[in-house]
Every structure is written in C-alpha cells, then in structure tokens.
C-alpha cells in the first residue's frame, strides 16, 4: 500500500504569481446541465481568470467570486469556492455554490508559460426545506481540464 502524501500547508507567496492568467475549460461531459439548472441560470462556463489576492487565488464564475488556497509540492492543488445569489431577469433570486478543485500537472515558472489544471467543477443551487413545491433543483458535477 502506498504511503499517504504528507499534509502541505497552503501557501500563496510569489510562486502563485506564475499561476495567474486566463484558463479555458474543456469538460469531459458536455451534455446539457438539465432543466433545473437552465431555469436557475447555471451553465457550464467556458473560461475563468485566476488572480492572486494576498494569500489566496481568486476567480469569478457565473458572476460569483471564488477564492481559495494553493497547496505547493508535492500536490500542487488549488480549491476555489464561493457562495452567492444569482438573480434572474424576472427578479427571482437563487442561492448557489460553485467550487473548482484541481491539480496543476506542471507548475509554470512564469505567467507566460503554458499551464494546465485538471479536476472537478461543482455548481449547485442551495435549497432549503421552507421552499415552495416546484422550486428548481440544480446540481452540476463535471470533470475538466483547463489550459492557458
């Protein structure tokens, strides 16, 4: 049995500057996200831009701010998440949660070098028991790779 990898404290120092940039999603499954997600306005995004905000990495997807830690070697993992509300044209608001969990195959030395993240994209409407019947349900889980 393989030894588990040691825990690596998340650190976002100058090494995070090489991770910033615009990444384009390629989802393994490009099928429809479903009627409930369409009704809420959640779709599969095409791209995201990673920036550094102090000790964390940040981006925006579907107008929702996501942020989270970067774990250096040996894992090179990033986890960006956020909660918020999507307000549709009709004025209805829906609480949503979006998370991008991924791993850099090779950490770039500069922001100009190519970089690829592979991982999982989660987006879902946060429901509660007090909602009226017929409130749309939405849950998206897709694996992806994203390159810049």
Domains of the chain: which residue ranges?
14-147
Reply yes or no: is the peptide bond before residue 108 cis, omega within 30 of 0: no
Mean pLDDT of the chain: 87
CATH of 14-147, one of 2.40.160, 2.40.128, 2.60.40, 1.10.10: 2.40.128
Give 54-106 pLDDT, tens digit per residue.
888 999 999 899 999 988 877 889 999 999 988 776 777 888 999 999 999 88
Exposure class string for 70-82: b at 16+ Cβ within 10 A, else e? bbbeeebbbbbeb
pLDDT at residue 72, rounded to an integer: 80
pLDDT at residue 8, rounded to an integer: 59
Paired strand residues for 33 = none
**Distance between start and end Cα atoms, the chain:** 36
Give 8-22 pLDDT, tens digit per residue.
566 677 778 889 999
Burial class (CB in 10 A: 0-12, 13-18, 19+), 146: buried
């Amino acid at each position: 049995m393989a030894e588990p990898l040691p825990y690596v404290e998340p650190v976002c120092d100058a090494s995070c500057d090489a991770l910033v940039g615009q990444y384009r999603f390629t989802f393994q499954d490009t099928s429809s996200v479903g009627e409930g997600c369409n009704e809420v306005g959640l779709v599969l995004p095409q791209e995201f831009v990673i920036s550094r905000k102090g000790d964390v990495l940040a981006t925006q997807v579907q107008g929702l701010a996501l942020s989270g830690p970067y774990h250096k070697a040996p894992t090179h993992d990033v986890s960006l998440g956020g909660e918020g509300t999507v307000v549709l044209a009709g004025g209805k608001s829906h609480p949503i949660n979006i998370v991008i969990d991924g791993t850099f195959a090779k950490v770039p030395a500069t922001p100009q070098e190519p970089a690829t993240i592979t991982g999982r994209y989660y987006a879902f409407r946060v429901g509660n028991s007090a909602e009226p019947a017929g409130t749309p349900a939405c849950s998206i889980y897709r694996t992806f790779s994203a390159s810049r």
